[in-house]
Structure 1
Amino acid sequence: MFGNVIEEIVLSRWKLILGQSADPTEEIQLTGEEERIEKLLQTAYGDRQTGGFGKSSAKVRKWLEGIREHFSPEVVSLMQKDVLERQNASEMLLEAELIEKIEPDIQLVAIIISLQELLPDTTRKVAKDLVARLVRKIEEKLRTRIQHAVRRGLSPRSHEVNPAGSLIDWKKTIIRNIKSYQPETAQIIPERWFGFYKGYMLKELFLVIDKSESMISSAIHASVIGAILASLKSIRTHIIFFDTEIQDVTDKYRDPVDILFSVPMGGGTDIGRALNYTYQQMRYPKRSLVFLISDLDEYAPLDDLESAINRITSSGCNLEALLTLNEDGKTEFNHKVATMFQTRGVRPYSCTADKFPDILCERLMKL
């Protein structure tokens, strides 16, 4: 009996490899999941009669979602490349007449961004136009709130100071010293002075964005947020993407669409290297705020990451670890690495794009 089970598994695997034509009488029965996998493979590697997408862009999208569900990222990349070459899917998916009828959503845009290096020049402009339509919607939703968050977060707050070297906040100084009022002379003799230190240092904000396949949706939102922040002169914003290499796009682009199409998505993850690079760019660590946006699925040695975390936190820099920055805040993440961050005083948490302006304002106020 056990031998029969093994034989059935082997035969079903061969059927998946060779395709439906190898079993025209359907003597080999596939499970429900195997049938779904067989259809995905047939679409990519079948002949013109049995494979391909016909003239349906919905089929392309469904197929792309399906391979992500059933195959590893490495296999997904290979199958995407194969289907674009064999079935001309990119031309069909990005045909201008079809694009005009499609209402872009984050999933579709994420797929296009992940495929950008494989797109022929003739379809790249159409792809950018589609991505831009979604990006503008996100911008419209977030721009005013982010601008307001920065204004509130950076509004000057006076502190107790030495009056000889500061700009005095007279209102606060009087209120805090009202008990020192002298009736005989009708004067207040301050015991504590409040004011602003001379020499304003521009605060720095770093968006350090994981560009692995699982983080594309968050990378899209982070690019929009980064472009909005980069347009503000009241704060210096750095936009840094990483996998196992660093891609710093600070001051290179103002349009988030250009940012997204300048950064190839996918690859491994070396958070430690990204944090070390970020630290090297800081002018004043105590006046710097870092948002690491990653599911923390670290590929590099954890000892290196631990050293990088300690280096940043011990410098006085404010480090935040966002596990996601998307529409719903849902994500899968590496719990072991998350625990490492937490034991070093950095509690990772999920965040939606809608909540980010409030978090940004709160953190800026603490700088």
Structure 2
Amino acid sequence: MRDEKEILNRWRLALGRYAEGPVHFSEGSLPYGEMDQVLEFLYSREYGEEQEIRKDRGGSGDPSSLTVPSWIEKLRRLFPKSTAEIMERHALEKYNMTELLTDPEVLKRMEPNRELLKMVLELKSMMKGPVLEMTREVVKKVAEELTKELEQEIRPALTGRMDRFSGSPVRSMRNLDIKKTIRMNLKHYDVEKRQLLLDQVYFYGRLKRHSPWNVIICVDESGSMMDSVIHSAVMAGIFARLPVVDVKLVIFDTSVVDLSGYVEDPVETLMSIQLGGGTDIGGALRYCETLIEAPARTIVVLVSDLYEGVSQANMYGAVKDIVESGARLVALTALDRQADPVYDRNAAEKMARLGAHVGAMTPEQLAEWMGKIIA
């Protein structure tokens, strides 16, 4: 009987208080009345102009009694973290509740995560004073967490070639010395079971390189590239701390901004981004050409959806000139964990024919690709 009540209560939450033939809450294990308030505060916006009419139909626990700060507090207290994050995203993206990011008290209560990072970057032009400072803290915390995650994947691919004559304490399948492992464990071979018992597993070491390569990361800052912009900024910061590469970072729309002076600080980089505007890929690549000093030891990483808004002739001409100079050019249509891009396929195909490496990559795939070139 109790299970039936819980099921009915959950249906009541899903249907909402203004559904035809309303289901009333029964005594349950959860504070369904408060949960209903939280849901109604957000999703009653779906009704638009009909909302006031629906309120006249009765009900209790009027969601209008909630303020945005109290809504955030209850949301975090009553719902699982993953559910709360989804509802916060709906509030920002679907219902344009920008007060979530312009009220210091509200922003303080929100959980720093990548979705919140994207939102604050999109809306930071609206922020001033204390809210802007709090935004910087959100950017810092999420950037640090993302850096920690990506660094474990990126550093091994770029910090050195395999040294097959020294051991390594880094236990990774990528470093496994299978021949030495078999040879050194032959004395543990079990004849009856015909099994090789591994007493110790051996791994290759890595040698650092001391002749750095130049890596120029050129990032399209249009709104559709948000995930890629974030990952590009974080990866540039990781690359900048490696002895193997000298990194320059350029962002662009119809203008070009050189952020190389901030490349070791992803927070400053991300706070410098102004999303929106047109797209001049050719102009950005022409600027990157001026940064190339040793073409044979230069990799240009263009991160863009390849939708050129100014001059395709200039864009293709710049691609051709960079490739013919001897520099490597990789055009990434996406650079994030999903690497699921929307991009100009005609432009991608033509760039590939001109000699660029074109595709979507995860950060680890980019690091591995660069590692093969640098080796």
TM-score normalised by length of structure 1: 0.64
1:94 offset after TM fit, Å? Answer: 6.3
Residue 209 of structure 1: how far off its partner (Å): 0.8
Question: Residues 103-142 of structure 1 correspond to what in structure 2 (within 5 A)?
Answer: 104-142=112-150
State the shift of 1:201 in Å.
Answer: 6.0
- The aligned counterpart of 1:180 is none
Contact kept in structure 1, 2:69 and 2:106, CA below 8 Å? no
Q: Alignment partner for residue 301 of structure 2, among 291, 296, 313? A: 291
The answer to which of 295-304 and 55-64 deviates more is 55-64
Deviation at 1:49, TM superposition (A): 6.8
Give the stretch that moved more between structures: 342-351 or 303-312.
342-351
Aligned-residue CA RMSD (Å): 3.1
Aligned to 2:271: 261
User: Which residue in the other structure is 1:230 paired with?
Assistant: 240
Where in structure 1 are there 5+ consecutive unaligned residues? Answer: 1-35, 43-47, 68-79, 156-199
Cα distance in 1 for partners of 2:351, 2:263 equals 31
1:183-206 Cα deviation digits (max 9, x unpaired)? xxxxxxxxxxxxxxxxx8642111
**Cα deviation code 1:15-39 (max 9, x no counterpart):** xxxxxxxxxxxxxxxxxxxxx9x84
Q: Counterpart amino acid of 2:302?
A: L
TM-score between the two structures when normalised by the length of structure 2: 0.62
Separation in 1, partners of 2:328, 2:134: 40
Superposed displacement of residue 89, structure 1: 4.0
TM-superposed deviation, 1:235: 2.0
- Residue type of the alignment partner of 1:122: P
Give the Cα–Cα distance (whole angstroms) in 2 for the partners of residues 286 and 41 of structure 1.
60
Q: CA deviation at 1:332?
A: 0.7
Measure the CA separation in 2 of the matches of 1:330 and 1:141.
20
1:94 to 1:61, Cα distance in 2 relative to 1, 3 A: farther
Question: Aligned runs of 1:77-226 on 2, under 5 Å?
Answer: 84=98, 88-92=99-103, 95-99=106-110, 102=111, 104-152=112-160, 202-226=212-236
Query: Is the 1:153–1:360 contact (alpha carbons within 8 Å) kept by the matching residues of 2?
Result: no
Distance 1:203 1:54 in 2: 50
State the match for 1:338 in structure 2.
348
Q: 1:203 to 1:316 in 2, by over 3 A?
A: same
Shifted more, 291-300 versus 104-113: the winner is 104-113
Amino acid at match of 1:241: I
What one-letter code is carried by the residue in structure 1 that aligns with 2:121?
Answer: I
Which among 221, 225, 250 is matched to residue 260 of structure 2?
Answer: 250
| Alignment-mate amino acid for residue 261 of structure 2 | D
Call closer, same or farther: CA 1:133–1:311 in 2, change over 3 Å.
same
Asked if the contact 1:289/1:364 (under 8 Å) is kept, the reply is: no
In structure 1, the residue matched to 2:369 is 359
Cα distance, 1:329 vs. partner? 0.9
Where structure 2 has 5 or more consecutive residues not aligned to the other structure, the ranges are: 1-42, 50-62, 73-83, 164-209
SS at match of 2:329: strand
Q: Is the 8 A contact 1:212 1:269 kept in 2?
A: yes
Aligned length: 262
Q: Is the 8 A contact 2:151 2:238 kept in 1?
A: yes
8 A contact 1:40–1:63 mirrored in 2:
no
